[in-house]
């Protein structure tokens, strides 16, 4: 239970940057409840960049003197250096990253620091900081995705000729190249990359200039600030600008889908690493052991990625629910956008890093993969296609092959192990040439068109990918 001291006032109203209106000091409990600097301090680089661009613009249009601009820019450089060196004292009574930096700037350079906030509000300031932050994050995540995609490409090239069972409903369906399977994973992560870049393009508009909600009376030059900060243009409506968090939601959706894809890969690796499959071996450095069972080698990295996916999807849901009931324009609710956003950034970045390191080091047990493909009548469709090629209608071919599979299952052998006479019992159209079609390699090589699983097509896809990188 909180003590009575929790209810005591903290700073005098006049000491708050917004305190002129207030006669009563803020409760210490309310300060603890409402502060955000404990998590939004990570925006300090973006906040300082935005403030320096704003100051330069105010100097350009004649609102600030050149001396004030120089003092603000150099003072913010000094604060940045202090923060980076761990010398900066963050104060919860100053609420957030913006007021902490502004108060420190004023203490450092005097009245010029008080003039920095001319023509802007914390509403458009935080919107700018967040867009800069998400843009920076995307620029860091894209190279990580490229590393993951590159590792998959290398693994696909090594295993282009490796035969494994392809699955539908987790039942053996048709033989595929292991390399082809890795290229399927790569297609997913490349779509994730494109989504991030699309999100970046859509959000890359400058919010500064919207002020609190209606714009400002000062003769600001928004295009100048946009150019300074690398934005493609400026936002079109001040009310929308300060209340918009679509870009954060869109980023969290893209991040959620990245994790959903990594989680699907994780599920497959977890299965494939079990003795029942034994398709792959994960490097020891990405696994752990058991505290009681000495034989265990647990695939903890894929399991943790699979688990962390739920957190990231939950963060997306939190942002959607946060925004769903808010009227225009800015509301304090939006302070709560940062914890789920920041957690998503940290989680997706770490998961991509571990996959970028782990993927190239996966060992594939080719004989086990091939043996599994041979066990599930995975070339049954090839036999049906063979009969269609001989003139039998597909539905009749499907029935004949189904009967052949039932016979082979009772006999305990694969279709390719049945004698020619046994196969002819299901259709007189079957000849000696059937065996070239119903072997695993024959099945793979027959699917020789763009996007298919033939090793030649896998190598061609890899060559195209390397050429386009």
- 3-state SS track over 230-265: CCCEECCCHHHHHHCCHHHHHHHHHHHHHHHHHHHH
HEC profile for 149-165?
Answer: HHHHHHHHHHCCCCEEE
Structure tokens of 85? Answer: 């060196």
pLDDT per residue as tens, the chain (469 positions) = 444 444 544 556 556 665 667 777 878 888 788 899 999 999 999 999 999 999 999 999 999 999 999 999 999 999 999 999 999 999 999 999 999 999 999 999 999 999 999 999 999 999 999 999 999 999 999 999 999 999 999 999 999 999 999 999 999 999 999 999 999 999 999 999 999 999 999 999 999 999 999 999 999 999 999 999 999 999 999 999 999 999 999 999 999 999 999 999 999 999 999 999 999 999 999 999 988 998 999 999 999 999 999 999 999 999 999 999 999 999 999 999 999 999 999 999 999 999 999 999 999 999 999 999 988 889 999 999 999 999 999 999 999 999 999 999 999 998 989 999 999 999 999 999 999 899 999 999 999 999 999 999 999 999 999 998 7
Would you state the pLDDT for residue 13?
59
Would you state the pLDDT for residue 5?
44
Helix 455-468 to helix 122-158 angle, to the nearest 10 degrees?
140
Q: For 359-451, where are the alpha helices, taking DSSP H only? A: 366-375, 380-389, 394-411, 420-424, 435-438, 440-446
Would you state the pLDDT for residue 2?
44
Nearest to 34 by CA among 122, 90, 93, 103: 93
DSSP at 25:
P
Would you state the pLDDT for residue 19?
64
Angstrom distance (rounded) from CA 260 to CA 195: 14
Would you state the pLDDT for residue 318?
98
Structure tokens of 171? Answer: 């039942």
For the stretch 121-130, pLDDT in tens is 999 999 999 9
The CA–CA distances, whole Å, from 153 to 147, 176, 366, 460 equal 10, 16, 18, 12
Number of neighbours of residue 358 by Cβ within 10 angstroms: 21
DSSP at 172:
E
Are residues 316 and 337 in contact, defined by beta-carbon separation less than 8 angstroms?
A: no
Would you state the pLDDT for residue 4?
46
- The 3-state DSSP class for residue 173 equals strand
Structure tokens of 203? Answer: 């959000």
Structure tokens of 319? Answer: 């942002």
Would you state the pLDDT for residue 327?
96
Angstrom distance (rounded) from CA 80 to CA 76: 6
Q: What residues are annotated to the active site?
A: 169, 290
Angstrom distance (rounded) from CA 19 to CA 303: 51
For the stretch 319-342, pLDDT in tens is 999 999 999 999 999 999 999 999
Q: Which residues pair with 363 in a beta bridge?
A: 281
Structure tokens of 88? Answer: 């900066």
Angstrom distance (rounded) from CA 134 to CA 232: 15
Angstrom distance (rounded) from CA 29 to CA 18: 19
Angstrom distance (rounded) from CA 298 to CA 203: 41
Degrees (nearest 5) of the Cα angle 75, 81, 82?
A: 90
- pTM for the complete prediction? 0.91
Checking DSSP bridges between strand 233-234 and strand 280-281, what pairing results, if any? unpaired
């Amino acid at each position: 239970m909180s003590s009575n001291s929790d209810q005591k006032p903290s700073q005098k109203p006049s000491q708050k940057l917004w305190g002129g209106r207030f006669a009563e000091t803020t409760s210490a409990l309310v300060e603890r409840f409402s502060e955000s600097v404990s998590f939004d301090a990570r925006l300090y680089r973006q906040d300082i960049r935005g403030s320096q661009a704003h100051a330069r613009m105010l100097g350009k249009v004649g609102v600030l003197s050149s001396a004030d601009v120089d003092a603000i820019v150099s003072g913010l450089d000094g604060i940045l250096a202090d923060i980076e060196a761990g010398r900066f004292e963050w104060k919860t009574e100053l609420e957030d990253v913006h007021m902490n930096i502004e108060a420190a700037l004023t203490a450092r350079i005097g009245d010029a620091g008080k003039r920095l906030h001319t023509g802007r509000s914390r509403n458009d300031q935080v919107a700018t900081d967040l867009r800069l932050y998400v843009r920076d994050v995307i620029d860091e995540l894209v190279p990580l995705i490229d590393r993951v995609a590159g590792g998959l490409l290398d693994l696909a090239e090594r295993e282009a000729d490796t035969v494994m069972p392809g699955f539908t409903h987790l039942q053996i369906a048709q033989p595929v190249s292991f390399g082809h399977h890795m290229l399927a994973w790569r297609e997913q992560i490349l779509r994730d990359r494109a989504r991030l870049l699309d999100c970046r393009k859509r959000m890359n508009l400058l919010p500064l200039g919207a002020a609190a909600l209606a714009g400002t009376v000062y003769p600001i030059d928004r295009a100048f600030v946009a150019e300074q900060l690398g934005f493609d243009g400026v936002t079109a409506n001040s009310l929308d600008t300060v209340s918009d968090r679509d870009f954060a939601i869109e980023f969290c959706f893209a991040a959620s889908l990245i994790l959903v894809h990594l989680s699907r890969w994780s599920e497959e690796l977890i299965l494939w690493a079990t003795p029942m499959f034994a398709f792959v071996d994960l490097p020891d450095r990405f696994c752990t052991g058991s505290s009681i069972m000495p034989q265990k080698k647990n695939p903890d990295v894929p399991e943790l990625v699979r688990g962390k996916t739920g957190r990231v999807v939950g963060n997306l849901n939190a942002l959607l629910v946060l925004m769903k009931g808010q009227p225009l324009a800015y509301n304090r609710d939006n302070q709560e956008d940062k914890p789920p956003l920041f957690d998503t950034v940290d989680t997706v970045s770490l998961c991509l890093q571990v996959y970028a390191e782990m993927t190239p080091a996966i060992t594939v047990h080719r004989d086990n993969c091939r043996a599994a493909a041979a066990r599930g009548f995975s070339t049954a469709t090839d036999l049906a296609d063979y009969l269609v090629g001989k003139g039998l209608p597909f539905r009749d071919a499907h029935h004949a092959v189904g009967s052949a599979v039932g016979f082979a299952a009772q006999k305990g052998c694969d279709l390719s192990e049945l004698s020619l006479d046994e196969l002819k019992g299901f259709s007189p159209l079957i000849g000696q040439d059937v065996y070239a079609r119903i072997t695993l390699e024959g099945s793979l090589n027959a699917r020789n068109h763009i996007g298919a699983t033939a090793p030649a097509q896998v190598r061609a896809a890899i060559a195209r990918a390397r050429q386009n990188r």
